[in-house]
Structure 1
Amino acid sequence: MQKKSARGGKPKLETAMILAAGLGLRLRPITNKIPKPLVKVANRTLLDHTIDKLLAIGVKTAIINIHYLGDQIRQHLSERTDLEIIFASEADTLLETGGGIKNVLEYFGNEPFLACNADVLWLNGPSPVLKRMQNSWHDEQMDGLLMLHSTVEAYGYTGNGDFELDSVGKLSRKLERELTPYLFTGVQILHPRIFKGTPSGAFSLNMIYDKLIKTDRLYGILNDGEWFHIGTPDGLDQAEKYMQYRYSGVRHR
């Protein structure tokens, strides 16, 4: 169970959610036999890259939802002893991002928590972005804080971005198909209260984001390092080449 933070203080973030139930369809044929979170970049799985970042900020327990080839993820993580891991199986029905988190809300109490996609890869800039997110959380004014990255500077990304960011960090959306300056990286701090009144079963977090935007409760913070979109074999190749040739012999930030 997540420890309570002092009222108005920074959240403890000792328990985190890792979303690992995706099918990895766009990364096939690579993911025909392994789940996407176990795809490797720089000789380390995407899932382990993410867990390493969570440990660095003080996370002690990870709740991980699994579906496609979930037994492989269980087996792989059985070798890690540096944090407690609790699996939430979605073997029968995929719950999507919102439903997957709502399914395990009991583990977070009434405190903000980190939620990360298992298949993301980022490098920190001058200061660790998760620590900046933790220090930037203001419970009285926000219900969600998303890690963003420049749309045009992301490796392997060909989309139009997701959000605009105002001078105080509040997020808004533009019309569909219009280029927006920032993309969502798959990493966020959320408060459990945002799930009140949401449907049972499968639903997307985008439904919650849209509600929070209307009430000025969704904020963003920029990652000033690198971010890699590993949604296709080409994106994976770009990430591997970056790590090999620009970070060769250096444990990344």
Structure 2
Amino acid sequence: MRNRPDAVMLFAAGFGTRMRGLTRCRPKPLLEVAGRSLLDHALDVVDAAGVTRKVVNTHYLAEQIEAHLADREDIAISREVSKILETGGGLRNALPLLGPDPVFTLNTDYAWTGRNPLIQLAETWDPARMDGLVLTVAPHAARGHFGRGDFQHDEGGPIRRGPANIYTGAQILKTDDLWDIKDDSFSLNQLWDRMLARGRLFGISHDGMWCDVGRPEGIELAETMLAEVANG
């Protein structure tokens, strides 16, 4: 592994509007799949990958997430108090906690089977060639996703935007460009655009199944997917 990152940003600040009534009184990362919160499923991935510096951002119903993590002394909280900063602004806001080196980022509303996604990324990461490395999944290995896909790439090669593979919410990023973006709240798409223009955003495919738990029906889909693996 080449200069493996040792910090991870877990995104947990969103409103969860696609979950409709399920998130009226509970933040989406605390919704349960197979008896465990989505946030805990994501932390299982992080812990199994051996990443030591962990940061979780909060905004919507932040007190519930912070209470849920109160016993985890190894997790720092990046608070977005006055407004939600989206993925790009949220990552920049957390940089004092994450440090200046490349970081993993992981969304907290997905379920996984197969190899650990962060370990997969770390094994391919090459900072001499890459400013970013995203993990995608082929449509046949995805559940609960609506859309035509996000990126096209050869395995381990530079990527381009276009309908094909689906972004899984896991990646490694260099963060220097974040300081050049003038907006307070912005998507990581703006960071990707800069990397794409330089030919330094790369992609690899997830070795396993993946489920988007962004809508209510995604909970049952994820539980079925996990049960299929558990039952062989």
TM over 0.5: yes
- 1:104 is aligned to 2:94: yes
- 1:145 is aligned to 2:133: yes
Correspondences of 1:62-101 after superposition (within 5 Å): 62-80=54-72, 84-101=74-91
Q: Look up the match of 1:5.
A: none
Q: How many angstroms apart in 1 are the aligned matches of 2:190 and 2:139?
A: 22
Equivalent pairs counted in the alignment come to 232
Q: CA deviation at 1:42?
A: 1.0
Instruction: State the AA in 1 paired with 2:95.
Output: L
Q: Look up the match of 1:11.
A: 3
Q: Structure 1 residues 228, 168: CA separation in 2 closer, same or farther (over 3 Å shift)?
A: closer
Instruction: State the AA in 1 paired with 2:135.
Output: M
Q: How many angstroms apart in 2 are the aligned matches of 1:145 and 1:120?
A: 18
2:52 to 44, 57, 60: 60
Q: Secondary structure, in 3 states, of the residue corresponding to 2:180?
A: coil
Superposition CA RMSD, Å: 1.8
Q: If each structure's helix is expressed as a fraction of its own residues, which one has the higher value?
A: 2
Q: How many angstroms apart in 2 are the aligned matches of 1:186 and 1:192?
A: 16
Percent identity, aligned pairs only? 36
Instruction: State the AA in 2 paired with 1:113.
Output: V
Q: Look up the match of 1:36.
A: 28
TM-score normalised by structure 1 residue count = 0.86
2:121 to 133, 137, 143: 133
Gaps of 5+ in 1: 1-8, 175-179
Q: Structure 1 residues 12, 134: CA separation in 2 closer, same or farther (over 3 Å shift)?
A: same
Instruction: State the AA in 2 paired with 1:40.
Output: E
Instruction: State the AA in 2 paired with 1:240.
Output: E
Gaps of 5+ in 2: none
Deviations 1:209-249 (A, max 9, x none): 122111101011110201001111112221122223x1457
Q: CA deviation at 1:78?
A: 1.5
Q: How many angstroms apart in 2 are the aligned matches of 1:249 and 1:44?
A: 18
TM-score normalised by structure 2 residue count = 0.93
